[in-house]
Each structure stands twice: as structure tokens, then as C-alpha cells.
């Protein structure tokens, strides 16, 4: 007997976790537009427009700027597998889950990986980078995470970029939790390869991975002695599909391209600088509120898009997250690795980054923590957040 199911009716949540972020109705309407063929002239025009807008958001002139069919992790693999041949040396910075993932991916593609490690929640010191290049002068690729989602740590890149290029290596950057929310000028920072995801600061459903490759990176790709290990992620073929030749490679996720195009259009309408400022302002509000409630931040340099805070002593991490979800329809993220059970990760990305969401979350958390017996002053977080908002208004007046 055939089993039948009820109508699909997902609950409307307030997505304040590490991703995905809220998706606007405008993007969902774009996602529902009629599906075209992947070689239809109309769709090819949409691809071209998406590429042009991606370049503006990446702040680059790189011709090879496309959306990989897959999530941000596919973008990571695409960058690594195209730049690395078996036996190549690569330095990978590890100060959280996603630096560790980049290391794992590089090893799977045959790289000889040297790591620079820092305590979770702390940044990579440029002096560590200088020492690593002295020890490994044959390094071909240097990989680092700009926005470490597992800890909320933002990595300064200016000095490190100079060290990488002085060594002759290629600079590969993970911008999954920063593109569209934190300033990361690809050309200004001389980044050779960068990948991101659609579901974070771009406010789009997950499913595509924006990537960009500099001319130096493409030159290294063209000088490979062996085929790219992954057929699906081989940029030597993907650029023929995204380029003027339109050589068939795979059936692209048509409607996800619509959604990404609309998301990028929204970013550009708001203005990249204004959007970055909005993320900064809402982060300051949230931080002021959380610290007024006695919560301490985990990272050394906090992301404005992902706030990682220590769970107060004596508070049940899971119980609080469950109440937020069940009573208030608010999703936040749990800690990972050494912070499992002892940290919360609160995302303010894309459409989720609003003053309304900041105040809603602080009010809900205030109720839950005081119900649990934590001795905090009622409304202290809201008052501090409101004061921070007023300070921002004065500063921009």
C-alpha cells in the first residue's frame, strides 16, 4: 500500500544560527520562477548577470568568478582541487572547525600539508606565517579562514597577504561567513582564490558556492602536469560552460541561480558599504545586550555576522536552545569541538541581521535565563542594546 503524507508546511523560524539565514520573500519568489533549460539563451543571460554582480560583491575584476553547483564546502573543494596536485606543499591555518576541514580536503587531494595552529577563538599571528614560510619555502598554496564560523573569529588578512605573496605562494581564503556582510576586497587584499556560500550573508537558500580565481591562480591551473582530480569541480571545464563557448558540463541548478541573482541584486541595491555597516551596527547592539546580561564573547576578534558567546556557568545549553526554538521560534547554534555545550553561536547575517531580531532575541533570552534562576537584571540586555543603537545613530548623523 502506498504511504501518503500531509502537505508540506514548514514552521516560519527566526534563523539566528550559523546558517542558513532568513530568506526574503523576494528571493523565494525568484526561486519559484519558471525553470528554463540550462543552455536556453535567457538563462545564459541570467548567468552572465549573476557573474557581473558576483564580481561587484567580491570586489574583484577576476574574469573567473562563478557559482559552483553545490554548497560552500563544494566551493572549498573546487578551490583546493584545482590549485593542488598530488605532492604539492600547502600551508593551512587551523584555529577552528573550518580550518581543519580545509586541511582534510587538501590532504585528500594529495597535498603535503603543513599547519599553523592557534587556540580556538584566537587569530593566526603573522609571525607564525613568516616562520612557516621559512620552514616550507616550496609552499604552493596558503589557505586561511577569514571568518571562522565555529568560533566567531575574524582573521585580519592584510599583513598575512603580503607575507604570502612575498613567498610566491597563492593565497586561498574561506569567506563563507563574511561575503556580503564583512568587508573582504578580493583585489585589494590580493586574494588568489576565494570561496563562499549563498546561505549566510547573501540571504539566499543553500545550494551554490560563489568562487573567484585570480589570473595568477588560473596560470597555476593551466600549468598543471595532471588533470584536476575532481571531474565535477574541474574549473578548466567549468569556465568553458560559464564562458562564451557555453560547452555543456552539467545541468546547472537553474532556479538556484535565479535566487542568487536576486540576492545579489538586493545586496547591490542596499549598497555593499551600507550593508556592511548594518551588520556592524546590529552586532554592536547584540554585543552590548549580551555583555550587559553577563555573557562573555569567545573570540579575540569577533565577527559582526556570527557572535560566539560562552554559556553562563550553571546554565543548560541545550535546554535554553530548545526553549528558544519551541517558545519563540528562534534558532541559534550550539558550540562545536572544544566549545560543545559551553558556547552559543548567534548569527546576524543577511536578512536576519535586523534591530528587530536583536531585540527579540535579547528579550527571549532574558526571560529564559531569569526563569532558570540566573541573577540578571530584567531588561538589562534590551536597555544596553537600545543605548548602543542610539550611539550608532548619533555617530552616523
Flag whether 19 is in a domain: no
Is residue 98 within 8 A of residue 106, CB to CB? The reply is no
**Global pTM?**
0.96
DSSP string of 257-317, one letter each residue: HHHHHHHHHHHHHH-HHHHHHHHHHHHHHHHHHHHHTT--B--SSB-SSEEEEEPPTT--H
Averaged confidence pLDDT in the chain: 96
- Do 254 and 374 fall within a single domain? no
Is residue 22 within 8 A of residue 14, CB to CB? The reply is yes
Strand partners, 174: 145, 195
84's grid cell: 593542488
229's grid cell: 582530480
369's grid cell: 535565563
Flag whether 6 is in a domain: no
- Do 291 and 189 fall within a single domain? no
The count of C-alpha atoms lying within 13 angstroms of the C-alpha of 248, restricted to the half-sphere facing its C-beta, is: 5
Flag whether 326 is in a domain: yes
- Do 190 and 337 fall within a single domain? no
Would you write out the chain's pLDDT as a tens digit for each of its 397 residues? 788 899 999 999 999 999 999 999 999 999 999 999 999 999 999 999 999 999 999 999 999 999 999 999 999 999 999 999 999 999 999 999 999 999 999 999 999 999 999 999 999 999 999 999 999 999 999 999 999 999 999 999 999 999 999 999 999 999 999 999 999 999 999 999 999 999 999 999 999 999 999 999 999 999 999 999 999 999 999 999 998 888 889 999 999 999 999 999 999 999 999 999 999 999 999 999 999 999 999 999 999 999 999 999 999 999 999 999 999 999 999 999 999 999 999 999 999 999 999 999 999 999 999 998 887 888 999 999 999 999 876 666 5
- Short-list 50, 43, 89, 79, CA closest to 67: 50
Flag whether 119 is in a domain: yes
List the CATH number of the domain containing 251: 3.40.640.10
Per the listing, cell 555576522 goes with: 305
Flag whether 9 is in a domain: no
The number of distinct structural domains making up the chain is 2
Flag whether 154 is in a domain: yes
- Do 292 and 168 fall within a single domain? no
- Do 114 and 209 fall within a single domain? yes
List the CATH number of the domain containing 321: 3.90.1150.10
- Do 114 and 241 fall within a single domain? yes
Is residue 212 within 8 A of residue 62, CB to CB? The reply is yes
| Domain-ending residue, one of 244, 269, 294 | 269
Range of the domain at 346: 272-396
221's grid cell: 591551473
Per the listing, cell 546561505 goes with: 199
Is residue 125 within 8 A of residue 153, CB to CB? The reply is no
The count of C-alpha atoms lying within 13 angstroms of the C-alpha of 13, restricted to the half-sphere facing its C-beta, is: 15
What are 299-308's pLDDT values in tens digits? Answer: 999 999 999 9
Distance CA 375, CA 394 (A): 32
- Do 281 and 234 fall within a single domain? no
Distance CA 124, CA 144 (A): 9
297's grid cell: 564573547
- Do 292 and 239 fall within a single domain? no
Distance CA 267, CA 274 (A): 9
- Do 164 and 83 fall within a single domain? yes
| Domain-ending residue, one of 225, 251, 269 | 269
The count of C-alpha atoms lying within 13 angstroms of the C-alpha of 356, restricted to the half-sphere facing its C-beta, is: 4
Q: Any residues with CB less than 8 A from the CB of 119 and at least 6 apart, and which?
A: 95
| Domain-ending residue, one of 236, 269, 302 | 269
- Do 127 and 68 fall within a single domain? yes
The count of C-alpha atoms lying within 13 angstroms of the C-alpha of 282, restricted to the half-sphere facing its C-beta, is: 29
- Short-list 189, 191, 139, 128, CA closest to 168: 139
- Short-list 54, 27, 21, CA closest to 354: 21
Flag whether 53 is in a domain: yes
- Do 75 and 201 fall within a single domain? yes
Tell me how far CA of residue 18 lies from CA of 5, 37, 177, in angstroms.
Answer: 31, 33, 8
- Do 196 and 331 fall within a single domain? no
Flag whether 106 is in a domain: yes
Strand partners, 6: none
What are 246-282's pLDDT values in tens digits? Answer: 888 999 999 999 999 999 999 999 999 999 999 999 9
Is residue 142 within 8 A of residue 320, CB to CB? The reply is no
Per the listing, cell 600547502 goes with: 90
Amino acid at each position: 500500500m502506498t504511504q501518503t503524507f500531509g502537505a508540506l508546511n514548514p514552521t516560519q523560524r527566526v534563523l539566528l544560527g550559523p546558517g542558513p539565514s532568513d530568506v526574503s520573500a523576494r528571493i523565494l519568489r525568484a526561486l519559484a520562477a519558471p525553470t528554463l533549460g540550462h543552455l536556453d539563451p535567457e538563462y545564459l543571460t541570467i548567468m552572465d548577470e549573476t557573474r557581473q554582480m558576483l564580481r561587484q560583491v567580491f570586489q574583484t575584476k577576476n574574469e573567473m568568478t562563478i557559482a559552483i553547483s553545490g554548497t560552500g564546502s563544494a566551493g572549498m573543494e573546487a578551490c583546493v582541487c584545482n590549485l593542488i596536485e598530488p605532492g604539492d606543499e600547502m600551508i593551512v591555518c587551523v584555529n577552528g572547525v573550518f580550518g581543519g576541514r580545509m586541511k582534510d580536503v587538501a590532504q585528500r587531494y594529495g597535498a603535503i600539508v603543513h599547519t599553523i595552529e592557534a587556540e580556538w577563538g584566537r587569530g593566526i599571528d603573522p609571525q607564525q606565517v613568516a616562520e612557516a614560510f621559512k620552514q616550507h619555502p616550496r609552499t604552493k598554496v596558503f589557505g586561511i579562514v577569514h571568518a571562522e564560523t565555529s568560533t566567531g573569529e575574524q582573521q585580519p588578512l592584510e599583513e598575512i597577504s603580503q607575507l604570502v605573496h612575498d613567498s610566491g605562494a597563492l593565497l586561498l581564503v574561506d569567506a563563507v561567513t563574511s561575503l556580503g556582510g564583512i568587508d573582504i576586497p578580493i583585489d585589494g587584499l590580493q586574494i588568489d582564490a576565494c570561496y563562499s556560500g549563498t546561505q549566510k550573508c547573501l540571504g539566499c537558500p543553500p545550494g551554490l558556492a560563489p568562487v573567484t580565481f585570480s589570473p595568477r591562480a588560473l596560470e597555476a591551473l593551466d600549468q598543471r602536469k595532471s588533470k584536476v582530480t575532481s571531474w565535477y569541480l574541474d574549473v578548466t571545464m567549468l569556465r568553458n560552460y560559464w564562458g562564451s563557448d557555453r560547452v555543456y558540463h552539467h545541468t546547472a541548478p537553474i532556479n538556484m541561480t535565479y535566487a542568487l541573482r536576486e540576492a545579489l541584486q538586493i545586496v547591490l541595491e542596499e549598497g555593499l558599504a551600507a550593508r556592511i555597516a548594518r551588520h556592524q551596527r546590529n552586532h554592536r547592539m547584540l554585543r552590548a545586550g549580551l555583555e550587559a546580561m553577563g555573557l562573555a564573547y569567545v573570540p579575540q576578534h569577533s565577527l559582526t555576522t556570527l557572535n560566539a558567546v560562552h554559556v553562563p556557568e550553571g546554565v543548560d545549553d541545550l535546554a535554553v536552545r530548545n526553549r528558544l526554538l519551541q517558545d519563540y521560534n528562534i534558532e541559534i547554534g550550539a558550540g562545536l569541538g572544544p566549545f560543545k555545550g559551553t558556547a552559543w553561536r548567534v548569527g546576524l547575517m543577511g536578512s536576519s541581521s535586523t534591530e528587530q531580531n536583536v531585540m527579540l532575541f535579547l528579550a527571549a533570552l532574558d526571560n529564559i535565563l531569569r526563569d532558570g534562576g540566573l541573577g540578571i537584571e530584567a531588561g538589562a540586555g534590551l536597555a544596553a542594546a537600545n543605548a548602543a543603537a542610539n550611539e550608532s545613530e548619533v555617530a552616523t548623523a
